[in-house]
Amino acid sequence: MCEVQKDIKFEDAMKRLEEIVKSLEDGNLSLEEAIELYEEGIRLTKICNDILRSVEKRVVLIEKLNGEYIQDDITNDIYGGLGQKE
C-alpha cells in the first residue's frame, strides 16, 4: 500500500489524484491494485479538502480584517459564524 504524505502540497496531491483516476478509468489493474489506488485517492481527497478548508478560513479572516467580509448563510454554515460582524 502506498503511504500518502500528510505534508504534501495541494498541487502535488491533485496531480496524483488525476493519475489515480486515469489508472482506475483505464481498467488495466487487478482488483487489489484498484482498491489500493482507491484508498490512496480517498486519503488524498481528505488532505485536499482539509487544505482547501484551511485556505478558505484564512481568506475569510483576511477579508474580515480588511472590512470586506460579507456574511451569508453559506459562510455561516461553513465557518460557524466566524465571519459574523461584531
CATH T-level fold of 10-66: Helix Hairpins (1.10.287)
> Does 37 or 64 have the greater pLDDT score?
37
Question: Where along the chain do its domains lie?
Answer: 10-66
Q: How far is residue 53's CA from residue 29's CA, in Å, rounded to a whole number? A: 33
pLDDT recorded at residue 59: 87
1-57: per-residue pLDDT in tens? 455 677 899 999 999 999 999 999 999 999 999 999 999 999 999 999 999 999 988
Q: Quote the cell numbers at residue 75.
A: 459562510
pLDDT recorded at residue 66: 79
pLDDT recorded at residue 21: 97
Alpha-helix residue ranges (DSSP H) falling in 1-86 = 10-26, 31-65, 73-79
Q: Do residues 82 and 43 lie in contact, with contact meaning Cβ atoms separated by under 8 Å?
A: no
Q: Do residues 20 and 43 lie in contact, with contact meaning Cβ atoms separated by under 8 Å?
A: no
pTM recorded for the entire structure: 0.69
pLDDT recorded at residue 85: 46
Q: How far is residue 27's CA from residue 60's CA, in Å, rounded to a whole number? A: 42
pLDDT recorded at residue 50: 94
pLDDT recorded at residue 40: 97
